[in-house]
Amino acid sequence: MPVPPPVTSATRPFSRSGRKITPRRPRAGAAPARGAAEAWLGASLPAIQAEFDQAWQAHAGDYWEQRHQHLEECRTGLAELQAKAELTPDERWQAIKYTRDLDPAADLMPQLNELLGVQPDHASALHRRGLILLARCDEAGIADLERLMERDPEATRDACEAAWQYYRERDPERAEQYRARWIARADHEEEVADELRTLPADATLEPHNLDDAAVAQIREIVERYGKHVKRAYLLRRVLKADSAQGDYVLAFETAGLRQAEKGRETIKAMAAHKFPEATFLVPLASKNYKIFRYRIDELCIEPIYAR
């Protein structure tokens, strides 16, 4: 079972980085000890130290150059947004991110309140405002995190951990409730991940919901790399652990003899290419997946490719 939210440096009685280490002073008259590096490397030590210094300076220089370029892009982007008469919710959120990157100490609350006034369910803004309010010891942040979890279940663990931290000393009973929700969500995510790793014969299949561009991309892969494919069908697999989640199945028929061998060759050839979504490649001649043929007929699924 997954562990509860990790203990952070804010909850530990001390952290390694926070310890004050006082070096021992050598005794008067004592010769300084010879370092292990000096003893091992001898005369090569200065050259090696110089090489490491140069490598570090090069790395640090690249970092600060990238950082400077990023900040310049933020200034330019923020100026362009501020010049607009009206901003979309996405543009408002981008302006908030620019402001945060340019000045980590900036008060983002006015911008967050404006954005949430326009789009009350903006997940990122709810998360950010909730954390800011809790950091200010304002319990109103809990309402934002609850709304966030309702809007985006995948944010449950982060939101519950923040709530647990807030109530840990103030209300241990309520903190335990958020800890239990964190564990339940972690268990659920693990169950979903386990189910996504395999495709059983009794998988729940339904018509796919991909747009035309995604279907065209899959069809092109079949046309170019599925030389043995006679017909191909695209379906969506609905997870038993969470009906709101799923992936996709490309079930195909091969022509002629040696269908098992052709099925393996086809899977290997097509799997080397990127599909728009996670997709299982399934030869309908396979003993394990012949039952999918009945489901395809039952749903009246038309092939996305036919030769």
- The letter for the amino acid at 169 is E
Burial class (CB in 10 A: 0-12, 13-18, 19+), 227: middle
Mean pLDDT of 31-49: 63
Provide the mean pLDDT of the chain.
86
* 51, pLDDT greater than 80: no
* 42, pLDDT greater than 80: no
Contact 252, 227 (CB under 8 A): no
Contact 233, 210 (CB under 8 A): no
Q: How far apart are CA 231 and CA 304, in angstroms?
A: 8
At 39 the pLDDT is: 59
Comparing CA positions, the residue from 109, 114, 103, 116 lying closest to residue 74 is: 103
Q: How far apart are CA 217 and CA 214, in angstroms?
A: 5
Structural domains in the chain, CATH included, are: 64-195 (1.25.40), 204-306 (3.30.70)
* 23, pLDDT greater than 70: no
* 261, pLDDT greater than 60: yes
Worst-scoring range by mean pLDDT, 44-53, 90-99, 196-205? 44-53
* 240, pLDDT greater than 70: yes
At 21, the pLDDT band (50, 70, 90 cuts) reads very low
Q: How far apart are CA 230 and CA 214, in angstroms?
A: 20
Q: How far apart are CA 182 and CA 158, in angstroms?
A: 8
pLDDT in tens, 122-142: 999 999 999 999 999 999 999
Residue with the larger pLDDT of the pair 291 and 59:
291
pTM: 0.69
At 71, the pLDDT band (50, 70, 90 cuts) reads confident
Mean pLDDT of 67-87: 88
Mean pLDDT of 191-211: 96
Comparing CA positions, the residue from 134, 139, 112, 133 lying closest to residue 123 is: 112
Q: How far apart are CA 246 and CA 138, in angstroms?
A: 38
Q: How far apart are CA 128 and CA 10, in angstroms?
A: 19
